[in-house]
Structure 1
Amino acid sequence: MRKLVAGLVAVSVLAPVAAFAGPVCTTEAKDKWLTEEAMKAKISEMGYQKIKTFKVSGSCYEIYGYTKDDKKAEVYFNPVTGAVVKSEID
């Protein structure tokens, strides 16, 4: 019974954390990633602009900025290929 209760407590504590975790963008080592400068250039070529935040988030590059249509964007990129893995556009 104690193991069941402990398991339920662990799930209830960890489940909200998992809900906020970003996507898995790559399993490649960081030495295979595009440099931040190369990724920023690629992001700009894709039309993203007014980037407020550019950061490493788990296994992704992540930005907060705007699309070429001036819509708010939160975007996760594969740091090896530069492909969009997940995006939320407002």
Structure 2
Amino acid sequence: MNFKLLAAAVAFAALPSIALASPSCTTEPQSKWMSQDAMKAKVASLGYQVKVFKITGSCYEIYGKTKDGKRAEVYFNPVSGEIVKSEIDG
């Protein structure tokens, strides 16, 4: 029983580091980033329906849906607008 408790404690302690892991999208300062409005327009042109748009670390990040209606979490390079990482359900 003590082993199960120890294993659960170790797993729980690792959660914050896992949850906070986001990609590194750029090393450029925010003054070089495209504006949020320009990025939102680019995201829309890619067919995403955005529910949440935010800055996460060195990335623009969205939560929303693809043009096919699948849930999406996507990280973008804020300078180029390129997709750095995406997680699409379905």
TM-score normalised to the size of structure 1?
Answer: 0.79
Match of 1:76 in 2: 75
* C-alpha distance in 2 between matches for 1:35 and 1:65: 19
In structure 2, give the amino acid aligned to 1:40: K
5+ residue gaps, structure 2, are 1-12
Match of 1:3 in 2: none
Match of 2:59 in 1: 60
Over aligned residues, Cα RMSD in angstroms? 1.4
* C-alpha distance in 2 between matches for 1:32 and 1:22: 20
* C-alpha distance in 2 between matches for 1:17 and 1:26: 23
Per-residue CA deviation, residues 10-40 of structure 1 (Å, 9 max, x unaligned), is xxx5x54332221100000000001000000
* C-alpha distance in 1 between matches for 2:82 and 2:68: 19
Identity %: 62
What secondary structure is seen at the aligned counterpart in 2 of 1:18? helix
Match of 2:31 in 1: 31
The list of structure 1 runs, each at least 4 consecutive aligned residues, that deviate by more than 4 angstroms after superposition, is: none
How many residues align? The count is 77
* C-alpha distance in 1 between matches for 2:53 and 2:39: 10
* C-alpha distance in 2 between matches for 1:16 and 1:29: 29
TM-score normalised to the size of structure 2?
Answer: 0.79
5+ residue gaps, structure 1, are 1-12
In the TM superposition, 1:1-40 aligns within 5 A as: 15-20=14-19, 21-40=21-40
What secondary structure is seen at the aligned counterpart in 2 of 1:34? coil
In the TM superposition, 1:38-57 aligns within 5 A as: 38-49=38-49, 51-57=50-56
